[in-house]
Structure 1
Amino acid sequence: MSKEDLNAKNVEQEIVEDVETVEEVAVEVEVDDSAARIAELEKALAESEATVAAQKDGVLRGKAEVENMRRRVSQDVEKAHKFALNKFANELLPVVDNLERALSATDKDNEQMTAIVEGIEMTLTSFVGALEKSGVTQVNPVGEQFNPELHQAMTMVEVPGAEPNAVIDVMQKGYELNGRLLRPAMVVVAKAASVDTNA
């Protein structure tokens, strides 16, 4: 083999080696670029997933808040319907009281008063019936135990044979509107018999 062939072969060998080196570098650069691109895409994906999770959480919170608001509004409307008569009913209670006082003050044995007594009784009955249709009920606790949530004790009296804390008389009836107290009943409560310590 001639020197020129040998040189050509060496040059060819160097060219092949250089091409292989360039290819290796190109592959390494490609791998490095791919790894960087994958890392960049993974980061973007993680950020997108975090954003979606935050938005999903926000949507769920918003939905829960809307449901809570809808429930509160519904309850407020229900209460407004249920207790709209509160002030009006309180204004009418003195009328019932006055009719009851008029009835108790009339002489029922007097024949001349019979028509008046019947008129007052009918008026009172229809008035109380109209109140009951609107959800207003009387609290008339004679004989019941004293309940401070429904009754207002005006006085305590020692009554032989009566249970302590029993309501023995109602001075003024109480009223409730759909289970809510409008006015407590003014009552006289029995107290325990005092024990004579001098004996």
Structure 2
Amino acid sequence: MPEEKEQEIILDEENDESGVVEKVKKLKEQLKQCRQEKQDNLTGWQRAQADFINYRRRQEEQTSEWSKMFGEGLIKDLLPVLDTLDASQPQINADQEIAADKRGSQKAVEGLRMTREQLIKILAEHGLTEMKIVGEKFNPELHEAVEMVEAEKTSEGVVIEEVQKGYLLNGKILRVAKVKVTKN
């Protein structure tokens, strides 16, 4: 709208006794400069706003990554506890059958089983998944071969036994599985 009003001002240069035409030209030039300055300021503000949004996003990503790394360390520290509970599972099952008539022993065995299940559930909620590897082809990125076993019925390089479980945390290898692999 201001531009339309500018164009409506028509002055006759011949009747310019007081320099009105010259003043209008100066005012038009000042207006043009003000508009350019306004546009420059707006553009600068928009860039600063975008930079701030990007900074905030990077900070949130970094905080999330730090949180994952902290969680990864804690989960890694808890894996030996889970290994111990897993190793005791066969004995717990045997003890439960023996202690079926002894109420106190049965409760203790059931308590250990529940502790293991709860630990697995909590770790899974934080992104931990157990690798299922028995029967799979040996993969050095996921497995560490601790023994080669002769096997005629199974093709070579197949995992036949898991010595220590391997785990992924949020899709990333946390611990490779220690395995026994077939050879012909």
Is residue 2:55 matched to residue 1:69? yes
**How far is the alpha carbon of 1:139 from its aligned partner?**
1.9
Is residue 2:169 matched to residue 1:177? yes
Contact 2:85 2:116 in 1 (8 A): no
Contact 1:82 1:178 in 2 (8 A): no
Gaps of 5+ in 2: 1-12, 100-104
Higher alpha-carbon Rg: 1
Aligned-partner residue type, residue 166 of structure 2: G
Structure 2 matches for 1:1-199, cutoff 5 A? 30=16, 33-34=19-20, 36-79=22-65, 84-103=70-89, 114=98, 123=112, 126-135=115-124, 136-154=128-146, 159-190=151-182
Contact 2:75 2:123 in 1 (8 A): no
Which whole-Å CA distance do the structure 1 matches of 2:118 and 2:163 have between them? 21
In structure 2, relative to structure 1, the CA distance for the partners of 1:146 and 1:69 (3 Å cut) is: farther
Deviations 1:42-71, CA, capped at 9 Å, x for gaps: 332332222222211122122222222333
**How far is the alpha carbon of 1:128 from its aligned partner?**
4.4
**Matched position secondary structure for 2:168:** strand
What percent identity do the matched residue pairs reach?
30
Which whole-Å CA distance do the structure 1 matches of 2:168 and 2:116 have between them? 15
Which whole-Å CA distance do the structure 2 matches of 1:127 and 1:99 have between them? 6
**How far is the alpha carbon of 1:94 from its aligned partner?**
1.2
How many pairs are equivalent? Answer: 164
Aligned-partner residue type, residue 133 of structure 1: I
Which whole-Å CA distance do the structure 2 matches of 1:117 and 1:181 have between them? 37
Gaps of 5+ in 1: 1-26, 194-199
**Matched position secondary structure for 2:137:** coil
The TM-score normalised by the length of structure 2 is 0.61
Which whole-Å CA distance do the structure 1 matches of 2:15 and 2:35 have between them? 30
Aligned-partner residue type, residue 45 of structure 2: V
RMSD of Structure 2 on Structure 1 (CA): 4.1
In structure 2, relative to structure 1, the CA distance for the partners of 1:59 and 1:154 (3 Å cut) is: farther
